[in-house]
Amino acid sequence: MAKVLVIGGNFAGLTAALETRRRLHDKSHDITVISMKDHFLYVPSLIWVPFKEREIDDIVVPIEPVLRRHGVNFINETALKIDPFQSKVTTDKGNVFDYDYLVIATGPDLDLSLPGSDPALKNNTYIGTPAGALEIRQRFFDLLDNPGPVVVGAAPRAGCIGASYEFLFNIEYHLRRRGVRQKSPVVWVTPEPYLGHFGMNGVFGGSTSLKLFMNSRKIDYRVNAAIASIDKEKVTLESGEVIESALTMIMPPFLGQEVVRNSPGLGNEKGFIPVLPTYQHRDFSNIFAAGVAVDVPPFGTTPIPVGVPKTGFPAETEARIVAENISRVINGNHDLTGKPFGEIPGVCVMDAGHKEVLIYANHFARPRQFSVVLPNPTYNTTKRFLEKYFLWKARTGLARLP
């Protein structure tokens, strides 16, 4: 009997666990998920929470019942340390779990080294967590009573710039809808060398489309901009420019989770896992990784460092590769499948404030054979359909579906 341990229970972790279970026809193999959270969170919908278009309860699914129905064990504890030499994981409850195969799908921690970026200081609000989305809600409705400038953007090395764009367009839409937009100038600040770079060297037509949209919505913007500090009423750039702000949402860079950073020999200096195209650890063949936990170097250099987006579609793609490879090894087949991160397709539906933009590139990295940006100027239909679809998929545990 093989023991497969998965750390993390969101997109990558849930997919890896359920797909490994499905592919291992011998049910005597033990598959266990350890997660600090007892639920799946549909993170893309957090951008709607500040405007009361969603509540947190609308976008979460308890995962223990789903995993149990599919023959996967669930441990609601926080993994604190991994010993890759002894194949053991220690949790915050003092429990120690051994494994034959480990999947690290822990998602992101936040790099808050930028002065003033820690949400606890109340200078910057972060849209990527339920607590952050609810904090923005309070600040947004305070802004309606006392309108003022808004600054949205990303810090150098941020790897989820697309979500910042989505929040930008949503807050602009809701300020306009509530009649205070003229009193609330909106500024976009990004380390990207041009609009629509996204950490993947852009897609055909993306920069032009975003310029047109920014101009039509009267959103001022700064590209190639490095933020030096965030204060309660201003954002200071390294160029010396000071931008006044009554509400600031700057996307921080990601780190690997603390469990990796606490485990010598496992990750790099940022806590990300170096992997082969099979998503095996480069030094430990029985350890796999998927999602934000994977180390993906930038695709080329930019004047200001820009991180690579690793959430969503690539996370599920990697998790399926991991599940396939673990099942192959357990069944005695060492001919593993693989796909370098840069060859994974880039697929995204970006909310543009009750409008949407469909983005597709056949590879994350250049050279590409095809990429396209398709605006939908009527309504964000696809984005809302995907939310319902992925929540349904999480509730049913049908991770095999695309």
Percent of the chain with pLDDT over 70: 100
The CATH number that applies at residue 50 is: 3.50.50.100
| Residues 124, 243 share a domain | yes
47 with 153, same domain? Answer: no
- Structural domain includes residue 389: no
pLDDT tens across 11-24, in order? Answer: 999 999 999 999 99
Between CA 229 and CA 8 the distance in angstroms is 32
Does residue 353 form part of some domain?
Answer: no
Annotated active-site positions, please? 160, 348
- Domain C-terminal end among 202, 224, 253: 253
- Do 232 and 146 have their domain in common? yes
Residue 163's pLDDT band, with cuts at 50, 70 and 90, is: very high
Q: Residue 376: which pLDDT band, with cuts at 50, 70 and 90?
A: confident
63/136 same-domain check: no
181 shares a domain with 102:
no
Among 342, 361, 381, the domain boundary falls at 342
pLDDT at 19: 98
Tokens of 323: 């599940």
Q: Mean pLDDT throughout 144-152?
A: 98
| pLDDT of 194 above 90 | yes
Does 69 score more than 90 pLDDT? yes
Alpha-carbon distance of 383 to 47, in angstroms, equals 11
Whole-model pTM?
Answer: 0.96
Which pLDDT belongs to residue 367? 92
Clarify whether residues 236 and 281 are in a common domain.
Answer: no
- Give backbone dihedrals phi and psi of 372, rounded to 5 degrees, phi first: -155, 150
Domain presence at residue 85: yes
Edge-to-edge strand list for the sheet holding 234-237: 227-231, 234-237, 242-244
Q: Which residue among 202, 221, 253 closes a domain?
A: 253
Please indicate, yes or no, whether residues 130 and 193 belong to a single structural domain of this protein: yes
Average pLDDT over residues 258-265: 96
Total residue count of the chain as it appears in this document: 402
Model confidence at 25, pLDDT cuts 50, 70, 90, reads: confident
Average pLDDT over residues 253-279: 97
Q: How many CB atoms lie within 10 A of CB 277?
A: 14
pLDDT for the residue numbered 314: 96
Residue 249's domain is classified under what CATH number? 3.50.50.60
Domain range for 176: 119-253
Using an 8 Å Cβ cutoff, are 15 and 323 in contact?
yes
- How many domains, the chain? 2
Same domain as 234, residue 130: yes
241 and 127 within one domain: yes
Residue 248 shares a structural domain with residue 133:
yes
What's the pLDDT at 28?
Answer: 94
pLDDT attached to residue 297: 95
- Condensed to tens digits (0 to 9), the pLDDT of residues 320-360 reads 999 999 999 999 999 999 999 999 999 999 999 999 999 99
Q: Do 226 and 310 have their domain in common?
A: no
CB neighbours (10 Å) of residue 189?
Answer: 24
Q: Are residues 54 and 134 in the same domain?
A: no
- pLDDT band at residue 377 under the 50/70/90 scheme: confident
What is the rounded CA–CA span in Å between residue 158 and residue 280?
25
